[in-house]
Chains A and B, each alone.
Chain A
């Protein structure tokens, strides 16, 4: 991955950088779904919030002292008060991570405390997506409505779309992804990770063992929301636009697909799934824009039915089968037994 810039054109590199940013989100998704068994269909919101916070800063920088263009189109005279602090990049970046975490904390605390779980939580999280998307589209003067926020020029004073800056952003994304991966690996290998898996496999037993599952569930929800926000920042820097369409229901469910395809419950699977699925998506939607949805739909069905453990699971299965056959053979040879005599 680090050598990718040598082989790829600028356009492809930008695309790959975008996928890597999304992979950060997928890791968070995997933590909550693959490890803890909570299916969130609302991660588009956290991703979108992060991206919007960053976009607000970029937009303010691009507009200089004037009001951002879409505000003046909507007839706004003055800068809304909540836009003002986003002129500070540090504030914007912090908000992009902390805002999704705060929202997730609030939502998670109230739903998990009351033991709303399983499909009920999934449906509620989907309702949250609808609420936020309708709000963002409705409040055109503050959020740019359906068009979202775009037309950025610079970041920290550097021209955003110049090749060296984009190259820097690619490496930054890769670095962040590796960092997140290592940290989450540590988390999963530790005690907390064990409890998360235990919650997935038998929540009541965890409760009876003296743990409070609510705390852990809220924690993992907040963590994955923060990662989604972080992904949003890096995404908007490389893509240059954020709109409600990128945080709606379809993208939110697609995020689940990435993890499912790669293999839920393995962090590396989340990354592989994201890059492969998005790569295939941009390939197919470039070549056959009309039938891309057939592919996506069929992919969903196939993966759920035939590959419940995703690509990583497929390899693990193959490996295990080979290993087991070998092991069985060794046992037979060792005891000079034949399979037929096995009674």
Chain B
């Protein structure tokens, strides 16, 4: 029971990370290897917010720092993403493999930057008091509030994304660009603006994910790399370009991971998950949910 719940909260973090990836990967066909570092930036923003609160504000307010940390993490990461898009990524549209290499270089630089600024050792972010403890659903089965909170963040992010994509004008524009860039441009949508906007948004969600990760343990300069490959696997498994695919992929990987780790050891569990994914892709090479297209090169 608890195991399954932990799997669920792992899925929700993966989901947050993969959401951002799905936007950049699905929409713009850019492999952003620096996505993990945007997570790291989100995590360190939470850490900075905490320091600000404990240093400059009365103690009674400290418990609420995390409420502020979420938007701060989102905005910092989004801003970084926006700059990254403007400076580098826009030169690489249509060259996915090149974008992969270039952003990998960026990720190295950002990691080293974090090491210079914050030091190589991990730092801990203290969870506010109201997130300690847990909800006892049955005798002996406790769901920690922290993990429930992460679940809530993920749910809110998915809901927000859904509403944004399907109910608002800018979201619809984004979808139009995703489905047929040339046609959208002909109809007067500024694809350039949509690109930079969506990239910033995907980065912001990565920042949120980073903020959520701080609740689970100490953070370090290379925290993003622990999650990034898993997140890419979510996108690959789920299929590119659909929200529902990302959701299913994240759930699938998170729960499989937990089950296998429960059955075997941590390392073997991971190996088994990847094997399952590779076997699954034999059956459906384009992932769980795929956008139908007749495009051929």
Contact = CB atoms under 8 A, between A and B. Distances in A.
A253 B34 CA distance: 14
A298 B285 CA distance: 35
Nearest to A118: B96
A253 to B, nearest CB: 6
Contacts of A256: 101
Contacts of A39: 97, 100
Given A39-B100, A114-B282, A116-B285, A134 B271 contact: yes
A192 to B, nearest CB: 22
A110 B282 contact: yes
Given A123-B232, A204-B296, A297-B112, A304 B105 contact: yes
Interface stretch (B6-14, B75-83, B166-174, B273-281): B273-281
Interface string A189-218: 000000000000011100000000000000
B108 interface: yes
Contact of B297 (A127, A204, A297): A204
Contact of A202 (B233, B268, B297): B297
Interface stretch (A223-231, A271-279, A288-296, A310-318): A288-296
B257 interface: no
Contact of A297 (B96, B98, B106, B225): B106
A172 interface: no
Q: Which label, helix, strand, loop or mixed, suits the secondary structure of the B interface? A: helix
A131 B31 CA distance: 21
A115 B271 contact: no
A103 interface: no
For chain A, give the interface size range. Answer: 35 or more
Interface in A68-118: 110-111, 114-116, 118
Nearest to A139: B267
B214 interface: no
A300 B101 contact: yes
A202 to B, nearest CB: 6
B196 interface: no
Interface in A244-278: 249, 253, 256-257, 260
For chain B, give the interface size range. Answer: 35 or more
Contact of A299 (B88, B91, B105, B268): B105
Interface string B90-133: 01100011101110111111011000100000000000000000
B60 interface: no
A308 B94 CA distance: 14
A304 B101 contact: yes
B159 interface: no
A296 B229 CA distance: 21
B270 interface: yes
Nearest to B270: A134
A138 to B, nearest CB: 4
Given A124-B281, A297-B112, A298-B109, A130 B270 contact: yes
Closest 4 CB pairs of A and B: A300-B105, A297-B108, A138-B267, A297-B109
Interface of B: 25, 31, 88, 91-92, 96-98, 100-102, 104-109, 111-112, 116, 225, 229, 232-233, 236, 265, 267-268, 270-271, 274-275, 277-278, 281-282, 285, 296-297
